[in-house]
Each structure stands twice: as C-alpha cells, then as structure tokens.
Structure 1
C-alpha cells in the first residue's frame, strides 16, 4: 500500500517514501538551532570549541540584510550599501543509533559564498559558488553522542556580484539517511517520447543506483509511475546484481496511453518512484515529480507548447525579497509567484544564477515556464570579486550539479549558460553548450545577449534588442535562428509617483542637443512615447523617483514592446527587467536600488502591474491611475489612465460620465480630467456587459491604519510566514496616497517580526526593526510563526493614528494537503 507521499513544507522531519518493510530513506530538515558569529574566529572548526555565547538562530539566514545601510560599505552600489564580511555557523546534533549501517549526508541548497564545511573537525570541502546546491557525506566522521557541523562563509571581498547577493547559509539544509544500496543523489533523469502513430507516450526513468556496502547485492528494482491524482498508472521491474562499490544506470521504460499534459494553464504532475528491494526488504525508495509536455522553438513561428502557439509573457527575477534579503521563506516566495500568476505572467528567467530548489517545485505546481540560468559571466570577472575568479576551476562541477538538479522539472524549458558574457570565445561557448547537451539534450540553450554566438540554439537579446530595426537586421542575417527577449524591456517606476512628461535614460538615448550629431531624429533609435501634457503637471516629485505612467523608459515602453511580440510570429516573447525591485545595482547613494520592478521592494504592485495584467491576463480587470488626491491642482487637467482588458472603458467623475473609449491592443486609454476632489470610477465592459469596475477617491488627512493579512492561521513550525499589508487611511477608510507617517509594529505571542518594508528606494532605515515610515500611504510587515500553539497578537500604531490590532492563530503541525515535494537529494 502506498504511504502518504507528500508532506507540507516546513515539517521538522520530512520523509520521502517511508515504509514497505523498514525505513527506506529519511530526509530531516536541518535548519533549526544553529549558532552564528560574525567575523573570523580561530579553532571554530574543532569539536571542543565553545559556541555558547554565539547567537542562536534558524536557517535560512542572511546576515547582510540585518545590517545598516552605509555609503562607506565596500559592496557599494552593487550590494545596495549593505555590509558583507565573514561569518561562522555551528550546529551540534546527536547521533541516532538508527543510523548504524546507514549513509548520512548533509545537503546545502545555497551558501553565499566561499563556504568551507567541517564535521567534528574534519574538513569536508569548499564551494566558492554561492548559488549552487551541494552536499557532503558525513558517514565516515560521525561518532556516538554529540557531533558538530561548522561552516565558514567568506563574503569579505565585495562586490562579489553586480547586485545584492546576501551573505550566509541563506537557503535550507537537510540530513539525508539512506541504505548503502541506494538511488544516487539527483539519481533520476526522466524523459518521454510520443509515438506519432499510436499517440502512446513512452516514459524513460533513467535511474542511477550504487552499492556502497562491502558485499555483492542481488536486488529487485521497481519503477512505478503515479498519475496527478495519485493513481498507479504504470510499472516495471528488473533484477540487478551490484558488486561492492559498483554503480549502474538503469533505463526502465513504461507506457502511458493518454497522459495529462503539463502546461501553465494545467500543470499536471506525475510521480516516478524507484524502489530497491532485497529479499523482500525495501532498501531505498526515491521519488521525483515530472510533467509530460511537448514544446518547440521555431525560427518563423516562435514557441509552441503541446502544439499550441504560445507567447512567453516573461519576467526576470533576482533572488532577494526586499526586507528578507536572500533568506526568502517558502511562504513569501509562493506569495510573490502568485502575484506574478495573477498578473498573467507565464514565464520567469532566473537572472543570473540558479535559484533555490523550492522555486522550481513551485513553478511546476503553479504553471510557470522557466529559463534556468547558470552563470552571470564566465572566466572574466564582471564584479571585482565575483565567481569569474573561480570559473575555470569550478564551472564543470557546478554546471553538472545545476543541470542534474533541475532537469526533471517540466517548468524548465530553456537552459541559459550566461548573461552578457564579455570577452568569451566561440570555443568556450561551444564547450559549455556541448557540456549541457551531454547531460540534457531535450532543451535548447541560450544566453542573455547571446545572439552573437554560433553555437547556441536561441538568440537571446537584452537591451540591444530594444532598439529599432535590431530584430529585422538579425533575421536578415540569420533567418534560421529563433529570437527571444532574454531581458526586454527596461522601464522604471516608483509606486505612487507620476510625471506627465516622457523621460528617457540619457545614456541609452540621445538628448535633444545630440539630434543632428549622430541621429536624424530620436525615432531613429528608440520608440518615442508622446508626452501626456505640454507642461509638467507634477512638478514637485524628487528626481530620484520615476513616473508610474508608462513614460519613464530606457529604450522602449511596455506597450510598444508588447506590440512587437504580438505583431511578429517569429518573436517568441520576452522576459521583462524586472518582476520585483531588488536591492543593489543602485544608481548611487542614497538609493539602495534602481526601481525597474513591476512590484516594489515591499512586494506591493506598482501601476505597471495592472498595465501588464491588462495585456497578459484574460481575467476581467480594471485599474485607474493616478490616485485622486491632488490638493492645490483644482482645475488643472490631469491625465487619467484606465487599464482594462475589456473592449470598452467608461470613466466617471463624481457620478458624471467623461465618455466611453474603445480599448485596443495597446490598452492606451486616457482622459484629460480637470481636477476636482471626489471620486473617479472606471467601468470596463465586454460585448456590452460590465465585467470589471474600480474606483479611487480623494483622501482627507490621515487618521488610522488598516491591516490586511494574507492568512490568519499558521503552523507551529518556525517556518510559516504571514504577510501584513498596512495602509494609512483617512476617517472614511480611504488610503492617503502621500502619507509618510512613522508606524510601529508590535508583536507578542508565539511569533516574531522578520521584516518591515515600505518600497521607498531612498529610505535607509534597517529592516529588522519594528518602526518604519509609510511610503505613499503603504508598508508591509512579515510575521513568522514560532514552535508552540497559541495566538500571535499584532498591534500597529502611529503618532496621530488610531491603532489596529489583529490576531494570528498558531496551530499544531499535522500532515496536510499536498504543496511541494522536496526530493532534492
């Protein structure tokens, strides 16, 4: 009988396929109760060292985000002016007698960077690359009683990346306990092939098994495939003889007659299970989720999935999450992905490095197509102290681990071997492409700005692809090449900030006085966006902030770029820079970032979120910008923009219609409205029927705060996180769009405050404190559950504001509904 296979993320002990007769494979979460000390220390790696005075904490942990912003920090604009350094982690754990005769390994999902690991004083190894998953065998060095893991993390030489990297053991860790006869780490490679004649799908579950016992073993290896509903749909069995120390690769095949196909709209997931049985006793049980789908990239017709032409509605992401830095809890990552899903996004590029394993599991579940990127650059460093210094020695090891870890995810459809790689040779490109294809020939390979290389499958265009005529010229020169926008487009917005005059980043676009020197007109180079008014309406906004109309751009705006995607079959789609604002790559002190994101550092959508939603989503929606609180502008015409995916839109001011406008593909719907206080209401219709309505209202002075929690019940697992959205409101509950009141967030009970953020790129308050100003009327707090039942009491207050209280219930942890299978070993 098949045991419960999927357990919810966050369990203190997580079993992957437990019983047939005896324990087969055990995976223990190893994130709790580590000791941490910042700085370098002597003798720390020895078992007798006393760490009693060190800080006690749980993983994931990023010490950089706990620091203060300072212009003098050596990481500079790349690190967003946050600190780096050296840190040590230690964890003491007891040997379990159940491990006798077993193999015990430790797995790290990511340590940034230059990690060294010891067990009981024995050095296990070093991994320079901060984004790769890795592990070590502990078995030879374990002893009865207490054992000590020590990890040194060296991120002292910065910048070690071109963006905020974080520092520390910022992803999860596990202990894996197996029989000496076992499926190897990342031991499945699952592919499928469809018969054109019968339509039957043959699934091959290539399986690597190893015998690390001291004698020859005669084994039965069973392969089972379970449907998305958990039903056994196919199986096979074979007899295998393994000598001591021998490794074999099996390739059992099973047939599925009418499989459910995986797609973003229907992310059907199967499970392949390998069981190793000896004399009726189960020695190992290993599972991997996979999906069945067909896709093609065609030079003329673009991308198709399961035979359906599909445009990639993509975004680029960095790995940090605002106030949480690089240590992103599962709940926060899922919430961020859900925001993108609701926007209509169907594709994500992991720019410019491997992400945490749970990211790919969530993409499999939720239905995202992934461009999985291995490196930013290669052997030539792009930041002063980045991975380029280690590339020549480590790239093969790291790239192999990366491909083997991720190649069973149906969400992953493209491998990217680099981004804007400078100084590379064609021979190096061929070397990496061939290496990837030896491990996985089923997916194409690209690069960010990789169109110049002859060995990649898909021409990837970054910013250069935003200039007029670039694609047309490339297609003329290389008609056989598929084109994709690996990093297109770049626009900038600050939530709640508006300007009516179009702005271009001058370093990419000619200023007016350059016209006539290099270009006959600005239109020769960029896609010109008309001003919304002859004179600037909003003259008082700080220059460091960017307009949330679609008129603050680098080279091409959102609408013009998406029209290129729709108008050209050969253009497969794009990955916009970026989904979220991220720390680092600042334009200079005191800005901690450049605000390219559709969603800000707090995870609050900007107006562009709704523009993309109107272009990408089929779910009825409507959105108005700007806000409607503009004292002193009475009678001045303000451009009011309506975003909707209906076919008509009607705007009302204080109940009076300002006219109906047809909504075209560009979603370019604007009314010039003389300002008067009151309310604006936008009605979206399709085929004459109202499908969405939204409104904004003039706010008075700030009187109170309102709270919105994304959940009110969490588990006592020290993992679950509640997002708390906080708004500053007037007496009638209207958000005050210019409010910047300082707010205090107080927590009591079995939980802790792990971050507060307002999205203001110029606000340099630290993140791990309870007080912060609102920005444009809003901020967000994150509360993490403890390990006991009870109620977390949350009180949010501010000077001159009526405080608000909320309660979060913490319940005991029980096996619950399926969320994510964590089989990373």
Structure 2
C-alpha cells in the first residue's frame, strides 16, 4: 500500500511539473544581411522590410498564429448562448433584509406612446383590414387564400425584413421582394419549414452583392444566395401570398442607406413596423382604474428607445400590496434621463437627472391595501453626438431597478464598509448613517455582523455592538471599526464575499430596523511604482466596453441599459481572455455628462473576480472638464460603494481643452474632482483624467508645465490615491515602429522613473483589425472599410485590402503583443484595450478585440497571451534578426515565489524544429518583476520567417 501511494504521489508530482506554466511565441525574420543587425523596426527608421515584405510577414503571422491559437479559420465564437445562460442562472441574488420589509418591484406593465399615435395607428390597421381575404384577429393578420402587398421608397443598398409566420395544415406562404416590376427574392414556406406555434422569418438583403440571407427560427436556410433576378437594382415592394390559411405578425422592415462619411458610413430607416395591435391613448395612465391589459410585462431595468420607439414616452405601472409600516421609501437606481413618479394617482416626484433616487412615500401609500406605482420616463435624443455614435440618436431611456422599503421611524439610511487594515484579522471600517425625523433623540444600539456569503454561506464570523443616541431630524453619521478574524480576502483568484448585517435596536434591545449589504475584504494601494491589492503586487489587465453592440436596430436602445444576458456575455469575454479587469466606459456623447452606473456589472464582477475601473454616470468623455457632474458623482459612488470589484474611480476620459485656458483651470479641476471623490471614498484609487497630457502638468510631480516652465501643482495632484497613466498608443493611429522602439514617451518616462505611483495605460495601441468578412455576409457593415483604414499606411506602408483581412488582424495582434511586452518591461501596471467588442461606428469600428458577432480576432489571443501571470519572451522589439543579433530572453512574473525552467524552440512556420535551448532553475521572487536571462544566438539557418516558442514549466 505504501509503495502504491508513493507511485501515486510521484505521478501527481510529475504531472504538476510537466504541465507548462505558460506558452508564448514570437515571429521573427532571420537574414544573413548585416544591414539587419541591431534593433530593426517593422516600419520606421531602422526598417529592413519593404512594404510587400511586411505584408508577406503579416500573412505568415496570421497563418501561424491562427493555428497556434486553435482557430485556423478565425471563425469561432468566444462565448455561446449556453454559457451566457449558465452564468446568469449561477449569479447569486443580493440578500434581503429580515426586519425592515424590502420589496423588489418587478413585474411591471409597460407601454410606449407619443401624442397622436392612436389616430395614426387606426389608419394603419384600417389599411390591412381592408385587404380582401385579410383581417386582424387577436393582434395578428390572418390571410386566407390572398395576397397582400406593400409598396415603399426604393431600397437600393442593404435592408432587413423580419416577421412572425404561422400556417395551418397544408397551407403555404410565399414572400416576394420586388422592384422594377421584377421579383428579386421569392421564398415559399410551408409546415415543413414553419412550426405551428409560429416561426420567426428574417431576410437580409444586399443589393450591392445581389444576394440575401434567410433565417427561420435563427437557422440559416439560404446562405447569401443569389437573388432570383439579379438585374433588379432596388426593392420597392414586398408581397405575402397565402394558399390556405396563415397568419403574420410583427412585420418589420429596416433599411440602410450608404453615405459618404467615414465615421457614419450609413444611416438606417424604419420603413415598416407593424405589430397589428391597437395603440390606445394614455389619458388617465396613472389612475388605479386605468385599463392596462394591452400593456406588455417587464422586469426592471426596463428600457425604451431607438428608431422604432423614438420620441415615445415610456410608461410603467405596478400594483403592490403594502402592509403595516411607519415609514416608506422608494429606492430607484436611476430614472434616465428623467420623468415622473406617481403613487395612487398622485405625483410623488418629478425627476430631472440620472441620479439615484431615494423618495420618501410614506404619506402616499395606503396601508394593508394594494397600491398603484406608476412611472413615466421621458424620451431622449443625443445633444452632442461623438464620432463613434450610431446614426440613430435616440439613446435608450429607462427605469432602473426599483424597490420599496418599509422601515421603522428611526431607520438606517446607509452603510459603507471598507477595509482599513489587513493581518491575522482585518479591521473593517463602517460608516453608518441613521435618521430619526422627530423632535427627540432615539436611544438604542447598533449591531453589525459578518457572515461568509460567497462562494459559500457560513455562520457568523464577527459581531460588534455599541449603544448609540441618534440626533433628531438630521442624518446622523456614526463610524465603527470591527475586527474580522482570519478573513477570506477578495481577489480575482478568490472572490470571497461577506454578508454584512447592520441591526438597529431600541433601548430594550428589540430590533427595529436592519440594513443588509455584501462586500469583500480587500485593500487597494499604489507604492514603489506598482499597484498593490491586499498588499500584493498586481496589474489591471483587460479591456473597456463602449456600449455599442449589434444588431444595428437595437444599438442605440441598449447603449446605456443592456439586457442582463449582454452584461453576462461581456464579463465572460473578459474572463476568457486571462484578463482581470473591465473598464466600464459606456458613452455616446461628447462635451457633456455621459456614462453608466449599472450595479449589475459590479454584482457580476464581485462574484466572478474581475476588477472594475468605474466611471459612474457623472463622467465625461471629452471637452471641458467642468462638465463632470460634481453633484451627482458622489451619489453614484454611494450606490455601488460596497462592491470590492471596483478598485478605481474614473472621473473623465480625456477632457481636452485645458490648454485653451491658463493653468488655474488645471489646478482648480484637479483640486475639485479629487476632493469630490476622496471625500466620499478613501479606499480606492482616483483617476481625474485618463489622459494627463491634456492638462498643463507635464511631469510626474507637477513641477513643469507643457511649455517647460517651472510650476507648483496643487497638493491633490500628489495625493496618495491619485493615479498616473495615460493613453499611450505606441503602435496605434498609424505610428511607425520607431515610436515603440524608443518608448517610453516623455510623460510616461517621468512617471515610471519616479518609481512611486502605479502607471496605467487606460487606452492603448488603437490599431485596426478587419473582421473575417465571410462571417458577416448580409450584414450592413459587410465589406465596409473603417475610418481607421489609413492607419495601415503609417504602420504597414499601404492600405490593406478587404481580401487581406487576415494580414490586418495579424498586424493588430503582432503589434499588440510586442507593444504590451515592451510596456511591461518598462513597468506599466495595466492595460485597457479600446475596446472589447465591435458595434461602434455603425458596426464598422475595427479596433475591438472581438467582432460584431462574438468572433475573437487574433489580437484577443495575443492579449490573452500577455495577460498570463508568468511568461517568457525576448527583451526587445527587433523584428528582423541580422547575423550578429542575439536572442535575449526574459521572464515576466507576477505572483508567489517559484522556480521554473524555460524551454526555447526555433521552428519553421510549418512546425519543423530547427534548434532547442533550455534554462533551468530560474528563481522568480515573490511579487512582480523581470528576470533577464543569458543571451544566445541560434545557429545559422536559411533566410526566412521563423517561430520562436517559449515554454515555462515548474522546475522538478
């Protein structure tokens, strides 16, 4: 038995040591030409390739890398519907209270309406009812042995037609798209293709290619097939013929029109949008007796918007039984951009901003009765569109999650929990705000309890109690420090969460109110030039979202309020990339307050172990910095402040007008924004701007301005929580390789040399990678070059054509790896790629790591490769190795102390091994660092492209 156990443990040990810690590769050209000696640029001052040589190199890179990453056709989806659904189901809902009654208000009836729609709708329904053999029944159009036809203006570029279809028995339905008295598309469908409950039919037409796609219930049954008559130049009518008995519903025709604008290459039009339902007016909508039986059902958050619902106010109604209470409050995450709140036919609030709302509704509620809650959300349209904005400016308006809280007269208004110290026990600091709106003091006690909550729930591990006196009327703030023994710390590797229960008791010890939140025990600091989480060196590596997602018809609607499945999808995309950070960077406008404050992202991140850079809805993208919502920013912070995943507050992206004014504007803004945020929270880092070079400050400690003059920065500039960083695109925007070879830039060099604060690259590279065009045939963005196309000239030497999309992805991936590798060598502490997924610029934005349809580009994989904790590579960005050039390997390590072996292998792109080299027993100290290894030269080989593979394993 002992011998068997020994063999077993030997096998386990062998398995552990045999498994690679990491694998990386680099593509290099080897030549006998002495002109290539030294650090050779891909394109730049020391270049060796000519333009066509660079393109050929990129083709070799694409062919090898796509095989290396097990996606040779670059056609795999990174996330599936099953994975998204599984994550949504596994997400643990936030715990509720036991003493106060907290009632989540879900199951609303919703309705969109604008003045005059009822009259217009009557005319449209009359048109359909007057067709012989057609009638509207049960909100569907019934067709019996008849043909309906609808004419419209010519569709001469791209369009989408969709509807629901149902046939009875052996009936058949035929769809035809016509133009110039000819049939361009003809589709006959019967019960073999359609199910009896109704099927969803989608036709995507492309008049430039004279082809179309057809989907039935999401299945592609005609894959970019030639049209029936390819001489048709424009579609001007469609018809539906039914032999027998059939129904159609939800008929929608969406047209796209090409225009000469690189940022907005086409705009969209709603040609037809018919659900065959009546559209009654909304007089008395807030009344208890109003008939809302025709309204739709929805949970919160609920959103309205986009071209299909433009200019409609969004109405919501909810009936809720309410029992006994002393005080009652509506907690509304946001009413965006504003609107009205009614209870029992009385206005309780008119809201004119996006701030979180706490509305006392005590006097409006009827006890022990059913009460009507009614909300109107005002429609919205962009005031200052930015270049990435969709041409549909009707950005969605919505009601965030809402709950009713029934409390005692003396109540707990809020609880903030942060970590003050870590050790054998954690010291948790609490700010508890109590409110007692009477003439006298409230005397009693506060009890605070900690329970493990995620991933597993457990018994109470810490408890604290203290007698208190609550002053009358005012919001009375108390501060308590509580030790938590043997804390389970929150980190991406171990996202431990606690349920924090705060109980208010009266003098006799009877509970009268409680407040429940979840949080994690963790600290965030910057020192010695690094970021530290829980006292250990860390990086923030990931990407940002922008809020633009396809399909085009809902891009605007869901910009600020995405479906829950979309939130899950984006978090999975980050997690699968070896990334540990998401920059929540949703925006659609410039020069004005924008952004989101969606707690769902934080709830996912808490449980998944993902850091968040959080901007709130008080953030601005560009323009004058004073447009930040200074009043709202702390309110948004309070809403999400207990989420440990949020590690950095970002006030603005790149306000860019400081230098139009004197230096006082820089001084005053930095002072005000830092004080605004730090007054509300001292537990996270603060980024007043993610592009410091736009300010007057030109070096790390603010002793020089951008003109080289001596200055004195405000004290807040050097405050402990204030970050350093920028948007350093060494290979982006068409830069040549020389910029990367000569990195860092002056600003970054000053900050890195200080070896004090962490330094983050908040947006980087900004290089474009064309999508796999085969995967988007029939979509409106098919074969459209991005406004970024000219970047190729500076980086590669000429524009890459549409059939060179693989080379385009290779450039994005190759430059990403080489640039991020060098920046890590320089000491950068994190990266946020702009951006994670496609959708901006009407789907033509090509910088994202993932295309519009969930397919990762090669750069997604090279980001994943560089985000490994421990990996090896060469220590420069030499692209072409001359006869005297040597490989100088290094190991980048982040984490616990370990000993590793490095195996370096030179191969042809086809996989033939030329030479091997190994380095044994490499000591990697705990923390973050670079270990340089002995340089070497491979044996002489034929001129050409070769692959250098690096593999790290634990030493035996």
Q: TM-score range by the shorter chain?
A: 0.5 to 0.7
Distance 2:500 2:110 in 1: 34
Where do 1:475-486 residues align within 5 Å? 475=748, 479=754, 482-486=758-762
Where do 1:750-769 residues align within 5 Å? none
Determine if contact 2:110/2:314 at 8 Å carries over to the other structure.
no
Distance of aligned partners of 1:567 and 1:157 in 2 relative to their CA distance in 1, 3 Å threshold: closer
Determine if contact 1:497/1:547 at 8 Å carries over to the other structure.
no
Where do 1:408-807 residues align within 5 Å? 408-424=642-658, 425-426=665-666, 427-446=668-687, 447-451=689-693, 452=695, 455-456=716-717, 457-462=722-727, 468=739, 471-475=744-748, 479=754, 482-497=758-773, 511=793, 528=795, 541=803, 549-552=809-812, 557-569=815-827, 571-581=828-838, 583-584=839-840, 586=841, 591-617=842-868, 658-659=912-913, 686=951
The CA deviation at 1:292 is 2.3
1:115 matched residue in structure 2:
339
2:315 matched residue in structure 1:
89
Q: Deviations over 1:492-536 (max 9, x none)?
A: 2344259xxxx997798695xxxxxxxxxx6xxxxx56x8xxx99
Determine if contact 2:621/2:653 at 8 Å carries over to the other structure.
no
1:305 matched residue in structure 2:
533
Greater helix content: 2
Where do 1:137-152 residues align within 5 Å? 137-143=360-366, 144-152=369-377
Q: Could you tell me the TM-score, scaled by structure 2's length?
A: 0.53
**Secondary structure in structure 2 of the residue aligned to 1:180:** coil
Determine if contact 1:262/1:293 at 8 Å carries over to the other structure.
yes
Distance 2:802 2:634 in 1: 53
Q: Cα RMSD over matched residues?
A: 4.6
Distance 1:422 1:405 in 2: 29
1:372 to 610, 614, 619: 614
Determine if contact 2:329/2:404 at 8 Å carries over to the other structure.
yes
The CA deviation at 1:580 is 1.6
Distance of aligned partners of 1:336 and 1:39 in 2 relative to their CA distance in 1, 3 Å threshold: farther
Distance of aligned partners of 1:281 and 1:661 in 2 relative to their CA distance in 1, 3 Å threshold: farther
Determine if contact 2:446/2:503 at 8 Å carries over to the other structure.
yes
1:193 matched residue in structure 2:
420
Determine if contact 1:39/1:85 at 8 Å carries over to the other structure.
no
1:268 to 496, 515, 528: 496
The CA deviation at 1:332 is 3.8
Q: Does 1:36 align with 2:112?
A: yes
The CA deviation at 1:651 is 8.9
2:141 matched residue in structure 1:
none
The CA deviation at 1:650 is 9.7
**Secondary structure in structure 2 of the residue aligned to 1:559:** helix
Distance of aligned partners of 1:662 and 1:10 in 2 relative to their CA distance in 1, 3 Å threshold: same
1:341 to 575, 586, 591: 575
The CA deviation at 1:418 is 0.8
The CA deviation at 1:294 is 3.2
2:603 to 361, 380, 383: 361
Where do 1:376-387 residues align within 5 Å? none
Determine if contact 2:729/2:766 at 8 Å carries over to the other structure.
no
Say which structure, 1 or 2, has more relative contact order (CA 8 Å, 6+ apart).
2
Distance 2:636 2:608 in 1: 22
Determine if contact 2:843/2:852 at 8 Å carries over to the other structure.
no
The total of aligned residue pairs comes to 577
**Secondary structure in structure 2 of the residue aligned to 1:154:** coil
The CA deviation at 1:42 is 7.5
Distance of aligned partners of 1:345 and 1:121 in 2 relative to their CA distance in 1, 3 Å threshold: same
The CA deviation at 1:202 is 1.7
1:281 matched residue in structure 2:
510
**Secondary structure in structure 1 of the residue aligned to 2:575:** helix
Distance of aligned partners of 1:174 and 1:308 in 2 relative to their CA distance in 1, 3 Å threshold: same
Distance 2:424 2:406 in 1: 40
Structure 1 gaps of 5+ residues are: 1-7, 69-82, 383-387, 512-521, 523-527, 621-644, 666-671, 675-681, 690-825
Determine if contact 1:16/1:286 at 8 Å carries over to the other structure.
no
Distance of aligned partners of 1:683 and 1:566 in 2 relative to their CA distance in 1, 3 Å threshold: closer
Distance 2:726 2:583 in 1: 13
Q: Does 1:169 align with 2:398?
A: yes
Distance 2:656 2:499 in 1: 41
Where do 1:388-427 residues align within 5 Å? 395-424=629-658, 425-426=665-666, 427=668
Determine if contact 2:329/2:358 at 8 Å carries over to the other structure.
no
The CA deviation at 1:552 is 4.7
Distance 1:376 1:16 in 2: 28
Determine if contact 2:617/2:636 at 8 Å carries over to the other structure.
no
Q: Does 1:239 align with 2:467?
A: yes
Structure 2 gaps of 5+ residues are: 1-86, 117-280, 587-594, 659-664, 698-712, 775-784, 872-892, 894-901, 919-929, 931-941
Distance 1:212 1:603 in 2: 53
Distance of aligned partners of 1:687 and 1:192 in 2 relative to their CA distance in 1, 3 Å threshold: closer
Where do 1:11-22 residues align within 5 Å? 16-19=95-98
Q: Does 1:218 align with 2:421?
A: no
Q: Could you tell me the TM-score, scaled by structure 1's length?
A: 0.60
Determine if contact 1:648/1:660 at 8 Å carries over to the other structure.
no
Determine if contact 1:34/1:58 at 8 Å carries over to the other structure.
no
The CA deviation at 1:208 is 1.0
1:640 matched residue in structure 2:
none
Distance of aligned partners of 1:482 and 1:470 in 2 relative to their CA distance in 1, 3 Å threshold: farther
Distance 1:379 1:602 in 2: 26
